[in-house]
Amino acid sequence: MSAEKLDVSGKMCPLPVALTKRKLDSMASGQLLEVIGEGELEFDNVQRWVKNNGHVVVEASNADGTFKLLIKKK
Amino acid sequence: MSYRLTKAVPVHGCSCKLPQYQLGELLDQAGMTSEFGPEVLAGPWENSSVVKIADGIAVLNTLDFFTPMVDEPEIQGRIAGSNVTSDIYTLGVTKIASILTIMAFPENMPSELAVGMLKGLGDFCREMDTPLVGGHTIRNPWPIIGGAATGIGDPERIVYTKGAKSGDRLFLTKPLGIAPAMAAYRLRKEQEGKELLEGISEEVIDAAVNGAIEGMITSNKPVAEVMQKVHVHAATDITGFGLKGHSENMARLSGVDIVIDKLWVIRGTPQLTDIFGYPLFSGESKETAGGILMAVAKENADNLQSELEKRKVRYCEVGYVKEGPGEVHVIKAAEVIEA
């Protein structure tokens, strides 16, 4: 299954979480979303929100200031 | 003016605090959690340090500073004043002998913004009958404002985070929701933010933003006056660790469990939370210059409420204390009350 994509690079808090949430709200259960962004804080915030809200982080990488999260919608 | 204080930083207010676990690790590694002499009545675990210097006299010290919450410099200065003095007032001490300011500003920040922040802080201190006696200023990539406060109190009458007892009732003196309200404040000025906020009325956003700013610039001094009149077992202010995090400190230090069964929030913040995804309903959303959470015995609760009302302090009973290993339970069906 191909993943939807969302780039939140350069967005300040709370946009990375808010945009991820809005995108997931528009998707069907079980669909995948790949989120690309920047910053340790933003990486932590998006990942925490995803887990706290019952979605699944399938893959997570964070290197050289850039992160990538593959999320499966609950 | 094109320079905006809130655009100059990636994190705002108490959100720039280190997470609680990370702070704990740093203190452990630095050996700063070791035992003190008997004159140190409170150390890093408390809102202010407390050192007994003579019979009946303790000196309290605290330092608190952060990045801007608002673009209006005088309001930002007032928020900083409210935040730093709160760390003394939270211990039930009303006498703040002096305040020093710490300020940092970037090379490209117009000097009138620095003047405005200092003016706001100075005005707030004057209104609290506390002299602003000096400080220190540096160049820095992020603008920062705050201060160090020195309080004087009676060691026998100081109220600590530790001391909550099973059966106590819990009262909070400012509603929650600073983070979502102030996110709306920032984002309504940006095109992308406006799109996110579509569907929420201007009236609701105004209510949230105005409620948050009013709360942040409101002093906790009247609450300290109340704690001098009514015996309170434990108190902590609610700032960067959120209601749950600060309650966890109280529960752990007191050796009891805390149950939060009401979430008292700023009007409009539930709708904003639904858009931004802040953990407001789990009590984990970060607050700035928040209210004081007090644990009081049932028999003193009526008196506490009466004294708060006399001083026009808004409050809400948000939970209770029970026996347990030191945990906090924010119940899923907690009633949400919009202030």
Q: How many residues does chain B have?
A: 339
Nearest CA in chain B to A40: B10
Those of residues 48-67 in A touching chain B at CB distance below 8 A are 49, 52-53
By DSSP bridging, strand B49-54 and strand B40-42 are antiparallel
Residues of B within an 8 Å Cβ radius of A: 10-12, 15, 179-180, 183, 186-187, 192-193, 196, 275-279, 282
**A47 to chain B nearest CA, in Å?**
12
> Directed axis angle between helix A40-52 and helix A15-25, to 10°?
40
**A53 to chain B nearest CA, in Å?**
9
Closest CB from B10, B15, B276 relative to A18 = B276
CB-CB under 8 Å, A15 with B187: yes
What would the pLDDT profile of B139-166 be if each residue is shown by its tens digit?
A: 999 999 999 999 999 999 999 999 999 9
Res B15 pLDDT > 90: no
**B254 to chain A nearest CA, in Å?**
28
Query: Which domains are assigned to chain A?
Result: 4-72 (3.30.110.40)
What would the pLDDT profile of B241-265 be if each residue is shown by its tens digit?
A: 999 999 999 999 999 999 999 999 9
Closest CB from B12, B196, B279 relative to A18 = B196
Taking Cα atoms as reference points, which of B223, B235, B211, B227 lies closest to residue B287?
B211
Q: For position B220, what pLDDT does the model report?
A: 98
What would the pLDDT profile of B175-216 be if each residue is shown by its tens digit?
A: 999 999 999 999 999 998 999 999 899 999 999 999 999 999
Asked if B316 is an active-site residue, the reply is no
Res B68 pLDDT > 70: yes
How are strands ordered across the β-sheet holding B57-66?
A: B40-42, B49-54, B57-66, B144-153, B96-105, B132-139
CB-CB under 8 Å, A53 with B192: no
CB-CB under 8 Å, A49 with B282: no
Query: Which domains are assigned to chain B?
Result: 5-157 (3.30.1330.10), 169-338 (3.90.650.10)
Q: Is the pTM of this model over 0.90?
A: yes
Residues B147/B121, Cβ–Cβ less than 8 Å: yes
Q: For position A4, what pLDDT does the model report?
A: 96
A41 touching B (Cβ < 8 Å): yes
What would the pLDDT profile of B84-132 be if each residue is shown by its tens digit?
A: 999 999 999 999 999 999 999 999 999 999 999 999 999 999 999 999 9
With contacts defined as CB-CB under 8 Å, which chain B residues touch A13?
A: 10-12, 15, 183
Q: What is the ipTM of this complex?
A: 0.83
SS (H, E, C) chain B: CCCCHHHHCCCCEHHHCCCHHHHHHHHHHCCCCCCCCCCEEECCCCCCEEEEEECCEEEEEEEEEEECCCCCHHHHHHHHHHHHHHHHHCCCCCCEEEEEEEEEECCCCCHHHHHHHHHHHHHHHHHCCCCEEEEEEEECCCCEEEEEEEEEECHHHCCCCCCCCCCCEEEECCCECHHHHHHHHHHCCCHHHHHHCCCCCHHHHHHHHHHHHHHHCCCCHHHHHHHHHCCCCEEEECCCCHHHHHHHHHHHHHCEEEEEEEEEECCCHHHHHHHHCCCHHHCCCCCCCCCEEEEECHHHHHHHHHHHHHCCCCCEEEEEEEECCCCEEEEEEEEEEEC
CB-CB under 8 Å, B10 with A13: yes
Terminal C-alpha separation, chain B:
34
